[in-house]
Chains A and B, each alone.
Chain A
């Protein structure tokens, strides 16, 4: 069964500091995609970053970057220069390249607090 595990239910970071959210997944597929979504109190699900498993280079989007370790099935999210607006639930998600029909499998989320 395909699963996504986020082992940190809650995290806290000081404004302007760096924080890393962990995610591990389990799949038997060789080609797949990984995502981090952010859900602020407004409940909107916002894509933060996307990684294609066949790409060895880690994805980066401004202050957000990932550490993708395919062999270890690990996909952590690093937020640099944390801002108050980064406070939200962060969900790691996974979908196989083929056969999943777009079925995103989500982890249970990490609640990130940012302290001023």
Chain B
């Protein structure tokens, strides 16, 4: 069973559309994250949730809105998609923050055309 699963894995959409990426973890972790990997493969955190509470919100346009219905799920909704949003988005989770191993999903490759 996949520990951190995210859907869809591939998404091609037009500028201006709204899209969501779903993430679920079955590891019983308290903390979940969204990371973005750009075209140069640079990885950077976007959001972190601990027990459904937003902990980290890095400098991300407010077109990006994470939603955590429960501690096993952290979805990412993106409004008014722009070309620059094209990237691979990774969901991740850890048992608790501050140093424990972070487990990543397989990534969702978003292409905005």
Contact = CB atoms under 8 A, between A and B. Distances in A.
Nearest to A111: B41
Given A97-B98, A97-B99, A103 B104 contact: no
Contacts of B42: 106, 108-109
Interface stretch (B16-24, B43-51, B75-83): B43-51
A64 interface: no
Majority SS of interface residues in chain B? Answer: strand
Interface in B33-47: 33, 35, 40-45
What bracket does the count of chain B residues touching chain A fall in?
Answer: 20 to 34
| Interface band, chain A | 20 to 34
B103 interface: yes
A94 B103 CA distance: 14
Given A42-B106, A108-B40, A108-B41, A50 B101 contact: yes
Interface of B: 31, 33, 35, 40-45, 48, 50, 55-56, 88, 90, 92, 94, 96-104, 106-107, 109
Interface of A: 32-33, 35, 37, 39, 42-47, 50, 52, 89, 91, 95-104, 106, 108-109
12 contacts: A44-B106, A45-B104, A47-B101, A91-B43, A96-B98, A97-B99, A102-B56, A102-B100, A103-B56, A104-B102, A106-B44, A109-B41
